[in-house]
Amino acid sequence: MPEPVAPPTAAPTASGTAPMNAPRNANVALRLAEAFARHGVTVTFGQSLPSAFHLAAPHVGIRQAAYRQENAGGAMADGYARASGRVGVVTAQNGPAATLLVAPLAEALKASIPVVALVQEVTRDATDRNAFQELDHLNMFAPVAKWVRRIDRADRLEDYVDMAFVAAGSGRPGPVVLLVPADLLVEAAPPPSPRQARLGVYPLDRVAADPASVARAAALLAGARYPVVVAGGGVHLSGAAAELAALQQDAHLPVATTTMGKGVADETHPLTMGVVGYVMARGARSFGMRAMIDRADVILLVGNRTNQNGTDSWKLFPREARFIHLDIDPMEVGRNYEAHRLVGDAKLTLAALREAMLAQDLTGRAAARPALEAEIAAAVGAWRDTVASIRARDGGPVRPERVMAELDRRMTPDDIAVADASYASIWIAGGLTARRAGQRFLTPRGIAGLGWGLPMAIGAQLAAPDSRVVCLCGDGGFAHSWAELETLRRLGLPVTVLVLNNGILGYQKHAEDASFGAHTDAVDFAEVDHAAIARACGIAGVRVERGEDVGAALDTAFASGAPALIDIVTDPDAKPPISFYARHYPEPF
């Protein structure tokens, strides 16, 4: 381990006096903390190293939220960024700790989440000498970050910090990495910086699409017979839910979302279809709306990567449809579907598109609206009839649909739902109702790694302390991160964790059986009492084995105002309405 260093020192305040409890002599670590604070950073997710930075940070109002493992710390910074609209910050030391940031940064890169990773390097005089835990971090992080740099000079510190936050929050947001040698942090500090720019929010720079292209898009939509909007997570990133809602309402457009886009549209609105993609089998809210997709002649994609899941392996949309694609990343526009291009910020461009639509003749759109609303209402009604019995099923093992029904009854428009990857994300996408445009449902759909549900929920709760945060995990994913229960307790965050304990890796087992007629040994677990694990960490933990007991357990957890875990023994045969399963498994309805 690196040698301990002396505590850093704080810079004078604007009045020329040292802050309260300030160290006597300022060093580079303090200047680094000051630069982060200037960009609005108030919390960093990190363990002890870089020690000099974490010792300096409290003197400028930055608290340290210590994780148990770096992989989880990266997910916490991700969840914080998603819920706050600010750049998340995670720290780690060189070597094995740094390697554990690769996976969460890869998620942030694919999901376009702005995170700054501050990673300590070996001292400069030890570089390339096989120093303890030395690695080539520049090359290691390059594939999973937008931008990676090493600060070697104190007089360039402000330059590189500013560039890091600009890279994270501008254009298509994403993760960046700042590498800082340990010895640089304890050097005597340069004078305080006069800079005042605050760059820690996103989108940092908003640019609207070309007005002529917007006008052409408006004409295409106004003249379409069966237009459909499919909105992705980029609408959340842009903070454009209100603009999408105004376009939906005033231009009479039906709106569907991807899994990451869930919440950008109010699902109680009569023109909101719900989540589409690979989860449209019988039992899905959008099952009865497939015909609306099949006959679509113009499809507006907004903040949408047109990835495999969101397009049901690129089979969802009709080949003859005309596409309009709005995205901040020009490389995503038209990636999988040739499209009329709208490159720009979703918030500004959707507002401009609404104005351009209002200048069109919308008589046809208005005339078609009652039938559209009736079709959507009929599909939603049929879905409710289909799942009514299973969402009310008593006894055990508990059906996940019953869990979602009980949770949905208690969710408010300001609550934040967080899911782990795999089935948990699908249960939330299909089983909960977005009650306002802009409600957040956080799912790790960038690369969809298991274990990120609980740490993302911790980050989200720190970002939104006045919101109720509920986290849904499968027992397979939860096993990757249950050490962070101690973090949850230590930070005193009132997150309610629901573990769907079916004793298997459900998605893996069911997909293997469907694809190969058999499954590997790795998908079956020994019995685990997750409630006991929670209690061992000092968190209230209960085990629920019957559907009729789920609601009372939720009420108790929510009323406590404290972290809680509910371990729900669920049916290992329960499967979300994944389209691929339709021809392989009997329906439970």
Contact between 395 and 541 (Cβ < 8 Å): no
**CATH 3.40.50.970 residue window(s) in the chain:** 28-185, 392-578
Give dist(CA 67, CA 486) in Å, integer: 9
pLDDT in tens, 197-207: 999 999 999 99
Instruction: State the average pLDDT over residues 105-129.
Output: 97
pLDDT in tens, 170-188: 999 999 999 999 999 999 9
- Burial class of residue 311 in the structure, from the number of CB atoms within 10 Å of its CB (0-12 exposed, 13-18 middle, 19+ buried): buried
Instruction: State the average pLDDT over residues 267-279.
Output: 98
Topology of domain 28-185, per CATH?
Rossmann fold (3.40.50)
Topology of domain 211-378, per CATH?
Rossmann fold (3.40.50)
pLDDT in tens, 157-170: 999 999 999 999 99
Sign of the four-CA dihedral 249, 251, 254, 260: negative
User: So what's the pLDDT on residue 1?
Assistant: 35
What CATH homologous superfamily does 392-578 map to? Thiamin diphosphate (ThDP)-binding fold, Pyr/PP domains (3.40.50.970)
State the chain's mean pLDDT as an integer: 95
Sheet containing strand 496-501, strands side by side: 441-442, 416-419, 469-474, 496-501, 564-569, 540-544
**CATH 3.40.50.1220 residue window(s) in the chain:** 211-378
Contact between 117 and 104 (Cβ < 8 Å): no
Bridge-based pairing of strands 564-569 and 147-150 is unpaired
Instruction: State the average pLDDT over residues 128-146.
Output: 97
| Nearest residue to 81 (alpha-carbon basis) of 207, 198, 174, 218 | 174
* Residue ranges of E strands in 310-433: 322-327, 339-343, 416-419
How sure is the predictor about 24, in pLDDT bands with cuts at 50, 70 and 90? low
pLDDT in tens, 58-99: 999 999 999 999 999 999 999 999 999 999 999 999 999 999
Of 21-35, 109-123, 480-494, 498-512, least confident by mean pLDDT is 21-35
Q: How far is CA 50 from the centre of its chain?
A: 26
